[in-house]
Amino acid sequence: MRILIKGLSDERFHRPLVNIANLFEEDSEVMFEPSELDDGLIMEFSWKEENGMVEASGHIDGSDITSRFSRDVPESLNDKERWKQIKNTVLSVYLHLLQEHTGMTQKWGILTGIRPTKLLHKMLREGMSKEDAHAALKRDYLIHDEKINLMQEIVDRQLKAIPDLYDLQQEVSIYIGIPFCPTKCAYCTFPAYAIKGQAGRVGTFLFGLHYEMQKMGAWLKEHGIKVTTVYFGGGTPTSITAEEMDLLYEEMYRSFPDVKHIREVTVEAGRPDTISPDKLEVLNRYNIDRISINPQSYENETLKAIGRHHSVEETIEKYHLSRQYGMNNINMDLIIGLPGEGLKEFQHSLQQTKELKPESLTVHTLSFKRASEMTRNKEKYQVADREEITRMMDEAVSWTKAHQYHPYYLYRQKNILGNLENVGYSLDGQESLYNIIIMEEVQTIIGIGCGAASKFIDPRSGKITQYANPKDPKSYNDRYEQYTEEKIQFLESLFISHV
Ligand code: SF4
């Protein structure tokens, strides 16, 4: 879609205008006056603020599609809040024009770039009643009731799973990134390097990782800062050998403070082809019982097409094996909209899930991330259309409800098929605490290892500073000491200097 916007020269409008256009059609081209456009939509806007109100209107040239919105702008608002009211009013006009033009409805309204549940948590923490918060989401962002109810259900679940969710700022969680996988999947943009033939590099990487764990652990111990959750991700952390895993968990127990206090340790065992009895034994020995085994699909053809290099049968076999070895909190990921898949295939995946009954189920919607093989060769991969994707998502919603899985976190991504969301579901009391903490950004997460992103959250102001370790093992191996030191500096500035 190509759009020329007239009448909105303030650059603060531009990014959200592009983001909203992309909800209707990815990679939309949005231009602003002056520009020559010989085809596409020309939209004209005007807005004014007077007598404590902002009024905005717009129309599409050459059509009878018009729209008008107004909102209060009380004098008590500060500049930032005032601008937000103005911007949301203009964006509401814009969304309405695009909906009329395309016939598509955006159930998330004009909300882009903000985590939906984080927004609702914020409103409730500021003392708004649920009713007022819901009314504001509807009025200010044009979010539909269905999504508001989903947000509320998730917020309630999260507070049930972590009653002290708003008081975790003085603790941290730790993410440990292990950047190796048996092979690289076609849709993947994670730091994941095929492990075969990399023995030397893996060894050096693990040396650096142990170093980071020791240094971070020592710093946390010294300052009496506790760890709430630990998450081993990647890559696939079970790609390394059982001996290497053993040494790593031993290091965790030795270096991290008060390990018994840690509420949850998760290890992604995403690729079933990495799971073996000796590795499960190691997990068991260290009391790690929350793992993720990710089928993604229960169609062998699909798995082959996306480069997973394991079969459906292997997923099922490894699932049962994990149960035998005492894994009693297993998550499984499914992806809606994989190439060649429609409602029928997705129903089959849900049927299989019913038989296995994992404690939690994460339903992703395929997203074409820029760096993936799938995006680079998009024409090779046929994916379902928007209506079918929506039907699959609806199926996920009704199926999970019927089988006692409750939604407990959600996030949206750019370029996600059908502008849908990724939702984590779990049986009662089996929510992943780490997932809640990272989604709602309630405490500092220290990322160690390859591709690990740290989020430093100022316990006083809530200000977030991101810090990313490099994605490739070579760069990490060259400079892990420096990355460790820089992160410790951050921690010092947040937790120590202001005490
Ligand atoms: S298993 Fe996960 S991390 Fe590894 S290549 Fe596939 S999607 Fe990427």
Q: Does domain 1-102 have CATH number 2.60.40?
A: no
Average of per-residue pLDDT across 394-422: 88
If you average pLDDT over residues 438-446, what whole number do you get? 96
Decide which of 1.20.58, 3.30.230, 3.20.20, 1.10.3470 is the CATH code for 165-493.
3.20.20
> Is residue 106 over pLDDT 80?
yes
- Give the residues across from 364 on adjacent strands: 335
Give me the pLDDT at residue 307, please. Answer: 83
How would you classify the pairing of strands 180-181 and 193-194?
parallel
Nearest-angstrom CA–CA distance, 132 and 302: 45
Q: Residue 375: its pLDDT value, please? A: 65
Distance CA 433, CA 444 (A): 14
In the chain, CATH 3.20.20 sits at 165-493
Give the ligand 1 atom nearest the CA of 307: 6
User: With b meaning 16 or more CB within 10 Å and e meaning fewer, what string describes 351-388?
Assistant: ebbeebebbbbbbbbbbbbeebbbbeeeeebebbeeeb
Q: Tell me, what's the pLDDT at 101?
A: 96
Q: Is 306 in the pocket of ligand 1 (CB under 6 A)?
A: no
pLDDT greater than 80 at residue 233: yes
Question: Relative to the CA of 234, which ligand 1 atom is closest?
Answer: 3
CA-proximal residue: ligand 1, atom 3 (nearest): 235
* Mean local confidence (pLDDT), 321-347: 94
Full-prediction pTM beyond 0.75?
yes
**Over the stretch 337-383, which tens digit does the pLDDT of each residue have?**
898 899 999 999 999 999 999 999 999 988 766 556 666 676 777 77
Q: Is 184 in the pocket of ligand 1 (CB under 6 A)?
A: yes
> What is the pLDDT at residue 281?
97
Per-residue pLDDT reduced to its tens digit, 282-298: 999 999 989 999 999 99
Query: Token pair of 112, please?
Result: 């882009």
Ligand 1 atom closest to the CA of 308, numbered from 1: 6
pLDDT in the model for residue 371: 59
The ligand 1 atom at the shortest distance from the C-alpha of residue 235 is 3
What is the model's pLDDT at position 201? 84
What DSSP letter does each residue of 121-184 carry, written as one string? HHHHHTT--HHHHHHHHHHHH---HHHHHHHHHHHHHHHHH-TTGGG-TTSEEEEEEE-EESS-
d(CA 250, CA 232): 14
Q: List every span in the chain annotated with CATH 3.30.160.
A: 1-102
pLDDT tier at 162 (50, 70, 90 boundaries)?
A: very high
**What is the overall mean pLDDT for the chain?**
92
Residue 416 pLDDT greater than 70, yes or no: no
> What is the predicted pLDDT for the residue at 40?
86
Take atom 6 of ligand 1 and give the residue whose Cα is closest. 185
Q: Which two tokens stand for residue 276?
A: 């073996």
Which run of H or of E encompasses 349? helix 343-356
pLDDT beyond 60 at 404: yes
Q: Any residues with CB less than 8 A from the CB of 406 and at least 6 apart, and which?
A: 153, 157, 400, 425, 426, 427, 428
38-91 residue pLDDT tens: 788 999 999 999 999 999 999 999 999 999 999 999 989 999 999 999 999 999
pLDDT tens-place string over residues 70-81: 999 998 999 999
Q: Looking at the chain, how many residues does it have?
A: 499
Is the pLDDT score of 197 beyond 90?
no
Contact present, 20 and 108 (Cβ < 8 Å): no
Predicted confidence band of residue 461 (pLDDT cuts 50, 70, 90): confident
- Is the beta carbon of 357 within 6 A of some atom in ligand 1? no
Residue 208: pLDDT over 80:
yes
